[in-house]
Structure formats: C-alpha cells, structure tokens
Amino acid sequence: MATESPPCISFNERLRRARLAQDLTLRDLMKRCEQAGERINHVTLSRYEKGEFRPKRRRRRILAVALNIPFDDLDSLDENRQESA
C-alpha cells in the first residue's frame, strides 16, 4: 500500500503560517526583522506572503531569525534555484 507524501508547501505559505503561529502582525514581523539586521517594510512582507515576490537568500535568513525558526524550516531546496528580488 503506497503512502501519499504531503503536498509541497510554498515559501510564501510557510512564511505566513510561521508568522500567524506566533500571533504576529506584518508590522510586528517588520520590527523583528529590523532587530535581526534588516528593515523589511510590511508591504514587502505582505507581497512575500502573497507570493508576488520571493526574497533573496539573505532576506530569507533574516526572516528565519526574526521568526526564531530554523532557516531550513522556512526555505526549501527545490525553491533555492529560483532566486528573485
């Protein structure tokens, strides 16, 4: 009997879920990103969550630090090939 693997969750959905799991607003996350080393505007964060843009690796690391989660939980190997602004 074959078992089904869970569907792949996109970066934007993982980001959104991680933020909501901590009851953070986009502005809260913006402040945490600034404390982690880079200010990322709440509008930009919203666009990341909607999948309109995908942050480069450096910003994905800042987001992981700001959310206090392992980078690998936020990022995925299959998406690393698609570097965009």
Per-residue pLDDT of the chain (85 residues; tens, 9 = 90+): 454 544 588 999 999 999 999 999 999 999 999 999 999 999 999 999 999 999 999 999 999 999 999 998 888 754 444 444 4
pTM reported for the whole predicted model:
0.80
Reference 35, options 75, 69, 63, 56; nearest CA is: 63
Q: Render 1-35 in DSSP notation, one character per residue.
A: ---PPPPPPPHHHHHHHHHHHTT--HHHHHHHHHH
Q: What are the structural domains of the chain? A: 11-76 (1.10.260.40)
